[in-house]
């Protein structure tokens, strides 16, 4: 199967968004007036972002999910994406699974594949997504204010728990392992919540490298600090509901785990009802887990409000 057959068979579908889609030198697309474009790109490498054993459909899902998560973090609505794919060989079974998982998520969010590239090489998946946001309503990292509440969506740390189990560092009951693995392999980008928080959240980021690291981006961009209420955060690990996770492991997973693709965001205390309404409207669990502070430090507080000693670092691709 040649390069053009491969694109024709697995990736070319009837489109609605683009004026010209796959099959010319460029895709041609006309964004709506009164909107700004939100654009993001993420590259996934075998062994670094996914395990060689991953099911191709789940990998297709995850490759797009991590990109959509960046749109969610700005409050944008996904519109179109481009896919570049390097593969050692054109494996039809793999392509069928990968494209099925990719398009299932794309269709669920109305995001259309309008272009891409395929080539031979070590497995590498690079996606660029584009979304729209009403003019001046993008939620940036730079808007957090001292006194704002600090929230996260969904659960945190289960993907890291799965990774620890996969690496043989811990042993998990079968049901806990399966649930954690699903979190690692098929994250759900929080698009509905992100959009519902436009005009409500003061700052937002998605959690890809671990909470402390990604919250750190917000703190630096906003020139503020934060205190995290650990007792309020401990239950963020979904596995902890059914499995007695040691506290140090829970702390590592929740605070620095990575691969969560949840949203961390801030909002004034006066907006608590509006935040809860956004969560309810989008069907998304949220947890108020701390506060933004004027003092530019990131502190984790125990049940007595005392700072806990921690030496936790988030994931750095070249550390």
Interacting positions 69-128 with a copy of itself (CB under 8 A): 70-71, 73-74, 76, 80, 82-86, 89-90, 114-122, 124, 126, 128
Q: How far is the CB of 66 from a copy of itself (least distance, A)?
A: 10
Tokens 């579908």 belong to which residue? 13
CB of 235 to a copy of itself, least distance (A): 26
CA distances from 184 to 161, 164, 247 (A): 9, 11, 21
How deeply is 147 buried, as exposed, middle or buried, from its count of CB atoms within 10 A (0-12, 13-18, 19+)? middle
Interface of this chain with a copy of itself, residues 174 to 203, rule: CB under 8 A:
none
Q: Which two tokens stand for residue 85?
A: 């794919």
Determine which residue in the list 131, 154, 187, 290 makes contact with a copy of itself, applying CB under 8 A. 131
Edge-to-edge strand ranges of the sheet holding 286-293: 203-207, 262-267, 149-153, 286-293, 225-229, 298-301
24 versus 178: smaller Cβ distance to a copy of itself: 24
Nearer to a copy of itself, 9 or 288 (CB): 9
Site for a copy of itself in 217-246 (CB under 8 A): 221
Q: For residues 8-67, which are near a copy of itself according to CB under 8 A?
A: 19-20, 23-31, 33, 36-43, 45-49
Q: Evaluate whether 165 touches 173 at the Cβ level (below 8 Å).
A: no
Residues numbered 200 to 219 that lie near a copy of itself (CB under 8 A) are 204-206
Choose between 118 and 240: whose C-beta lies nearer to a copy of itself. Answer: 118
Tokens 């499995």: give the residue: 243
Question: Which residue number, 15 or 235, has a Cβ lying nearer to a copy of itself?
Answer: 15
Between CA 129 and CA 80 the distance in angstroms is 6
């Amino acid at each position: 199967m040649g390069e053009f057959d491969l694109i024709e068979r697995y990736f070319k579908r009837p489109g609605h968004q683009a004026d010209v889609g796959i099959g010319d030198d460029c895709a041609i697309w006309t964004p709506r007036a009164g909107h700004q474009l939100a654009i993001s790109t993420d590259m996934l490498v075998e062994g670094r972002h996914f395990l060689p054993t991953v099911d191709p459909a789940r990998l297709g899902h995850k490759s797009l999910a991590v990109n959509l998560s960046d749109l969610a973090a700005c409050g944008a609505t996904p519109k179109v994406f481009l896919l570049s794919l390097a593969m050692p060989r054109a494996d039809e079974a793999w392509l069928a699974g990968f494209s099925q998982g990719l398009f299932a998520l794309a269709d669920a969010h109305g995001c259309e594949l309008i272009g891409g590239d395929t080539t031979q090489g070590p497995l590498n998946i690079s996606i660029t997504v584009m979304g729209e946001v009403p003019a001046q309503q993008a939620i940036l990292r730079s808007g957090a204010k001292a006194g704002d509440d600090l929230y996260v969506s969904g659960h945190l740390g289960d993907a890291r728990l799965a990774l620890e189990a996969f690496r043989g560092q811990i042993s998990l009951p079968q049901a806990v392992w399966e649930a954690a693995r699903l979190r690692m392999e098929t994250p759900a980008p929080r698009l509905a919540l992100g959009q519902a928080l436009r005009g409500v959240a003061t700052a937002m980021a998605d959690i890809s490298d671990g909470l402390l690291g990604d919250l750190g981006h917000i703190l630096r961009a906003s020139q503020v600090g934060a205190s995290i209420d650990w007792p309020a955060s401990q239950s963020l690990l979904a596995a902890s509901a059914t499995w007695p996770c040691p506290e140090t492991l829970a702390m590592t997973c929740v605070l620095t785990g990575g691969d969560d693709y949840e949203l961390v965001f801030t909002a004034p205390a006066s907006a608590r009802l509006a935040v809860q309404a956004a969560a309810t409207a989008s069907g998304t669990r949220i947890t108020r887990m701390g506060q933004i502070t004027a003092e530019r430090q990131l502190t984790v507080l125990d049940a007595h409000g005392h700072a806990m000693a921690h030496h936790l670092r988030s994931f750095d691709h070249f550390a």
